């Protein structure tokens, strides 16, 4: 790669693997995010293909969490200033006519730590459907379907009315994924979903992500390169707010194009 400072591509360049334009479900274009005078993301342009798992990796503080939070308009809740475009199926989600609440229903999110509500397992999964005032049958069906997809159904089918807080950490995180899936989002964003889980629970979540891409587009932030290599079809590398490389995962890890990427994945920094 050539162009920008430190071997970074010039801001605004769309960096991405060659996949057909019609495969693009979510696209950022010259996305720049500031917190006061500090620039957190600098002109990130990136296209995510549908029904694939895309991973975003990079050292702590590189802006990867901010990037996913821009994709469903969560970033602005923290008072960040966002410029540039994010397009979901061609529509700019930062268009003033677009309601951020609608955006977040279409583009779901799972957080670093499980964030179950202090209600029953059933009510947790039903949350999004209740917001849309769905009928009892729709909610019932949605809860069962989502729990199955999140690989939690067999473990909790007898205990739907038990408090969700009684579940283990790994179960809670899969419950949060079920909650996000219940409203049938077009894209599921995951911000380091396994960072607070033990290896066995992590394995279960990763297996589930693998299943999910048959129906969903998943964008996962991870600090763990092995995880990206295991679950992602495509991997992006962010460094100091700049997008360095976005590549098909095997290509990314076996023959990265940027020197910076190579240094990172070979453990020379980060």
- Structure tokens of 213? 């891409």
In the complex, least distance from residue 35 CB atom to another protein, rounded to whole angstroms: 16
In the complex, least distance from residue 115 CB atom to another protein, rounded to whole angstroms: 4
Q: What is the rounded distance in angstroms from the CA atom of residue 63 to the CA atom of residue 33?
A: 9
Only one of the segments 23-31, 110-118, 210-218, 224-232 lies at the binding site for another protein (rule: CB under 8 A); that segment is 110-118
In the complex, least distance from residue 127 CB atom to another protein, rounded to whole angstroms: 6
Binding mask 70-89 for another protein (x = CB under 8 A): --x-x--x------------
CA distances to 26, 42, 108, 153, 182 from 96, in Å: 18, 22, 20, 40, 27
Query: Is residue 118 a contact point for another protein (CB under 8 A)?
Result: yes
Q: What's the CA angle centered on 106, arms 102 and 112, to 5 degrees?
A: 105
DSSP string for 10-69: PTT-B------GGGEEEEEEEEEEEETTEEEEEEEEEEEETTSEEEEE-STTSSHHHHHH
Of the candidate residues 108, 142, 151, 241, the single one contacting another protein (CB under 8 A):
108
**Three-state secondary-structure class, residue 110:** strand
Only one of the segments 109-117, 198-206, 228-236, 250-258 lies at the binding site for another protein (rule: CB under 8 A); that segment is 109-117
Of the candidate residues 62, 70, 80, 183, the single one contacting another protein (CB under 8 A):
183
Q: What is the rounded distance in angstroms from the CA atom of residue 124 to the CA atom of residue 110?
A: 13
The phi and psi torsions of 191 (rounded to 5 degrees) equal: -100, 100
Which is closer to another protein, CB of 152 or CB of 229? 152
Query: Applying CB under 8 A, what is the total number of residues that bind another protein?
Result: 27
Which is closer to another protein, CB of 138 or CB of 166? 166
Which is closer to another protein, CB of 6 or CB of 198? 198
Which is closer to another protein, CB of 107 or CB of 265? 107
Binding mask 21-60 for another protein (x = CB under 8 A): ----------------------------------------
Tell which residue, 243, 247, 191, 197, has the closest CA to residue 218. Answer: 191
In the complex, least distance from residue 109 CB atom to another protein, rounded to whole angstroms: 4
Residues 6+ apart with CB under 8 A from 104: 72, 73, 74
Which is closer to another protein, CB of 87 or CB of 113? 113
Which is closer to another protein, CB of 78 or CB of 200? 78
Residues 6+ apart with CB under 8 A from 75: 33, 66, 69, 82
In the complex, least distance from residue 103 CB atom to another protein, rounded to whole angstroms: 8
Which ranges of the chain does DSSP label H, i.e. alpha helix? 64-71, 100-106, 121-131, 136-149, 153-156, 169-181, 199-212, 225-231, 249-254, 259-265
Q: Where does this chain bind another protein (CB under 8 A)?
A: 72, 74, 77, 101-102, 104-106, 108-109, 111, 113, 115, 117-119, 127-128, 130-131, 163, 165-166, 176, 179-180, 183
């Amino acid at each position: 790669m050539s162009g920008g400072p430190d071997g970074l591509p010039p801001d605004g360049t769309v960096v991405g693997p060659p996949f057909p334009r019609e495969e693009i479900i979510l696209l950022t274009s010259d996305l720049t995010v500031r917190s006061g005078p500090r620039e957190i993301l600098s002109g990130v342009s990136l296209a995510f293909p549908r029904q694939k798992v895309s991973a975003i990796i990079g050292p702590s503080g590189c802006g990867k969490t901010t990037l996913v939070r821009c994709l469903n308009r969560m970033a602005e809740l923290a008072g960040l200033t966002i410029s540039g475009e994010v397009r979901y199926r061609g529509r700019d989600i930062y268009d003033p006519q677009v309601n951020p609440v609608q955006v977040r229903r279409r583009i779901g999110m799972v957080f670093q730590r499980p964030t179950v509500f202090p209600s029953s397992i059933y009510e947790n999964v039903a949350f999004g459907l209740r917001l849309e005032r769905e009928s009892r049958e729709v909610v019932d069906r949605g809860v069962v379907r989502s729990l199955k997809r999140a690989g939690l159904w067999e473990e909790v089918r007898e205990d739907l009315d038990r408090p969700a807080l009684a579940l283990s950490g790994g179960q809670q995180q899969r419950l949060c994924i079920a909650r996000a899936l219940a409203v049938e989002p077009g894209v599921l964003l995951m911000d380091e979903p396994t960072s607070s889980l033990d290896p066995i629970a992590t394995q279960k979540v990763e297996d589930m992500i693998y299943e999910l891409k048959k129906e969903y587009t998943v964008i996962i932030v991870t600090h763990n390169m092995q995880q990206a290599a295991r679950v992602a079809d495509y991997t992006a590398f962010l460094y100091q707010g700049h997008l360095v490389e976005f590549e098909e995962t095997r290509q990314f890890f076996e023959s990265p194009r940027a020197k910076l990427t190579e240094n990172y994945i070979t453990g020379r920094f980060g």
